[in-house]
Chains A and B, each alone.
Chain A
């Protein structure tokens, strides 16, 4: 089923077209040409309501072709003697276009609503932790040093989490804008991973992360700041789902045409459907319970990888989960560097 999923709109279109052809052929005499034309609008409207412009246009063309071929005299040919039918073709396209544009707008609003509700949840959780813990400290009761420290660690953690979320939102806005917003320069993945790891230096699980980088890895032409966010989000995600003492391994390898980045963490396998969908915005793996993540981290990973014309996928291996990213190398650094004398 997973292979079909990206083409689901087209599968539905095909089924619809077959169905209306069957009905029209069976009741051809009873229905008459005008009603048959109206029936041929059904697939157009159904597909348009899904808000997918591409499949709508395909189904419209299919509908028009079938109608012309099978019912418009002369039948079984594309010749059209009466010019009014040409107009009906245009009307078909106009209907399809208008409805799918409207549907898209409505969908965008729904996404905005989900966005706002997720966002307010993800911001409010750390915020209430900060406020609650701060008010504990403000009360004049004297807590012992260990408790105070625990409370402060909580405040610090929540602050860090909010900081990461805000960074993600800013990047997300930048990526939604256009691709021209990328600030590309020569990036060294070792450098990038180093900066990303800095962000977790106070995390007790940081030492569980091991890094292996191809010694002759070349520089990569990309937006270094975004690539850092990519690694930060991958590590953040891996840390969330990795128990104490278990391993997280980051590796970067390359060949002539690609740079491959793998983030592996020891954990229970992820369900097949989740593997595919977890890069969607605000998708949460429910059975994992509330680990305090936001659905935005992995979707930003996907956006950043896409902006660099790369591919990101997740898969299970024997004792854990791998996130694999492949960037194709389109621009090579020049081989000759000026060596000082």
Chain B
């Protein structure tokens, strides 16, 4: 029998923690609820949770310290929960090592999707492959080629690298500065206009409706997320 996974919920609002643990129980998770960071640290030592859900607005202070402690000792996903207008805190938490975030008010479906996707990423590194399929988009990393359905995409080197970066970090929230640093290089972290421009041109090439994008989602004030629910890296490239 599969062992039930344990989720540590650090949240000081009873109504929210009850609702969240109720829905997680329904999904077959076990939960542990604690209202502050001090007791959370104690619980972390006594139990070994498989995932942490951390509210950023706790009364006893700074969640980032906790994230750093967890990161240095354990290899488990951390998802932060934040209120609107706290984008800076979210980015700081992501930089400190949190894996994802949800913003209040969030729906349970949204939270469950984040939890599953964070867990999938932690299951282990993907084997290095050269061809990746994500919905309709097929990427041949070795030959620098990309298709949308049957159509070969004409991408500039930057667009290709950006798309490759997104697909390799699919479903993950990617803060602006991180994308800029990883795709363009150190020193480009603040060149937002590069990112906005290339996202715009890339969307025109891969999205059916650019105003209702299905791949590149904007996470307002934080970054982008490449949605890829049907993912396949086992396909072989047909020779044409």
Chain A residues at the B interface, C-beta cutoff of 8 Å: 159, 163, 167, 170, 185-188, 190-191, 193-195, 197, 211, 213, 215, 219, 224-225, 228, 250, 333-334, 337-341
Query: For residue B191, which residue of chain A has the nearest CB?
Result: A338
Report A12 CB to chain B, min CB distance, Å. Answer: 43
Q: How far is the CA of A167 from the CA of B220 in the complex (A)?
A: 14
Chain A residue at smallest Cβ distance from B160? A340
**B211: contacting residue among A167, A194, A228, A337, CB under 8 A:** A194
Are A191 and B192 in contact, CB atoms less than 8 angstroms apart? no
B61 CB within 8 Å of chain A: no
State whether A337 touches B197 (Cβ < 8 A).
yes
B88 to chain A: closest residue by CB:
A183
In the complex, are the beta carbons of A190 and B203 less than 8 A apart?
A: yes
Q: Are B194 and A215 neighbours in the complex by a CB distance under 8 Å?
A: no
The 4 closest A-B pairs by CB, nearest first: A211-B211, A186-B193, A340-B158, A333-B193
What are 29 pairs between A and B in contact, CB < 8 Å?
Answer: A159-B105, A163-B105, A167-B84, A185-B192, A186-B192, A188-B196, A188-B199, A188-B200, A190-B200, A191-B199, A194-B212, A194-B213, A194-B218, A195-B220, A211-B212, A213-B210, A215-B204, A219-B193, A333-B193, A333-B197, A337-B194, A337-B197, A338-B191, A338-B194, A339-B156, A339-B158, A340-B157, A340-B161, A341-B157
What is the distance, in angstroms, from B225's C-beta to the closest C-beta of chain A? 12
User: Told that A191-B200, A191-B218 touch, could you supply 17 new A-B pairs with CB distance under 8 A?
Assistant: A159-B105, A163-B105, A170-B84, A190-B210, A191-B199, A195-B220, A213-B211, A215-B204, A219-B193, A225-B220, A333-B197, A337-B193, A337-B194, A337-B198, A338-B184, A338-B194, A340-B161
Chain A residues contacting B211 (CB-CB under 8 Å) are 190, 193-194, 197, 211, 213, 250
Q: Nearest residue in A to B212 (C-beta to C-beta)?
A: A197
Identify the closest chain B residue to A191 (Cβ).
B218
Beta-carbon contact of A339 and B157 below 8 Å? yes
A303–B157 Cα distance when bound, in Å, is 42
List residues of chain A with CB within 8 A of the CB of B105: 159, 163
* B contact residues, total (Cβ < 8 Å): 29
A-side contacts of B213, CB under 8 Å: 194
Chain B residue at smallest Cβ distance from A160:
B105
Interface residues of B in 178-194 (CB under 8 A from A): 183-184, 188, 191-194
How far is B212's CA from A193's CA once the two chains are assembled, in angstroms? 8
Q: Nearest residue in A to B158 (C-beta to C-beta)?
A: A340
A42 to B183, CA, bound (A): 71
- What separation, in Å, do the CA atoms of A195 and B197 have in the docked complex? 16
Interface string of B215-226 (1 = CB under 8 A from A): 000101100000
State whether A191 and B196 are in contact (beta carbons under 8 Å apart), knowing that A213-B211, A339-B156 are contacts in the complex. Answer: yes
* Alpha-carbon distance A340/B198, docked complex (angstroms): 12
Do the beta carbons of A170 and B200 come within 8 Å of each other? no
Q: Write out the residue numbers on chain A whose beta carbons fall within 8 Å of the beta carbon of B197.
A: 188, 219, 333, 337
Question: Do A194 and B210 touch (CB < 8 A)?
Answer: yes
Residues of A within 8 A of B188 (CB): 338
Interface centre among B105, B194, B196, B211 (most CB of A within 10 A): B211
- What residues of chain A lie closer than 8 Å to B209, measured between beta carbons? 211
User: B143 near A: Cβ within 8 Å?
Assistant: no
Q: With a CB–CB cut-off of 8 A, which chain A residues contact B198?
A: 337
Task: Write out the residue numbers on chain B whose beta carbons fall within 8 Å of the beta carbon of A334.
Answer: 193
In the bound assembly, the distance between CA atoms of A194 and B161 in angstroms comes to: 23
Which A residue sits closest to B213, measured CB to CB? A194
Chain A, Cβ-Cβ closest to B197: A337
Can you name the residue of chain A whose Cβ is closest to the Cβ of B183?
A340
Kindly provide the distance from the CB of A64 to the nearest chain B CB, expressed in whole angstroms.
50
**Chain B residues near A337 (CB-CB < 8 A):** 193-194, 197-198
A341-B156 Cα distance, complex, nearest whole Å: 9
Q: Is B42 interfacial (CB-CB < 8 Å)?
A: no
Given contacts A159-B105, A339-B156, A340-B184, contact A187 B196 (CB under 8 A): yes
Any chain A CB within 8 A of the CB of B85? yes
Task: State the CA gap A219–B197 with chains docked (Å).
Answer: 8
Nearest opposing residue in chain B for A170, CB measure: B85
Closest to A334 in B: B193
* CA gap between A339 and B84 in the complex, in Å: 35
The complex places the Cα of A261 from the Cα of B158 at a distance, in Å, of 30
Instruction: Kindly name the residue among A163, A190, A250, A337 whose own CB sees the greatest number of chain B CB atoms within 10 A.
Output: A190
B167 to chain A, nearest CB (A): 16
| B33 CB to nearest A CB, Å | 23
Question: Roughly how many angstroms separate A287 CA and B105 CA in the complex, as a whole number?
Answer: 34
For the complex, what is the distance from the CA of A334 to the CA of B183, rounded to whole Å?
19
Q: Mark B155-170, 1 if CB is under 8 A from A, else 0.
A: 0111001000000000
Q: Which residue of A lies closest to B156 (CB)?
A: A339
A170–B188 Cα gap in the complex (Å)?
32
Residues of A within 8 A of B192 (CB): 185-186
Chain B residue contacts of A219, Cβ below 8 A: 193, 196-197
Report how far A228 CA is from B211 CA in the complex, Å.
13
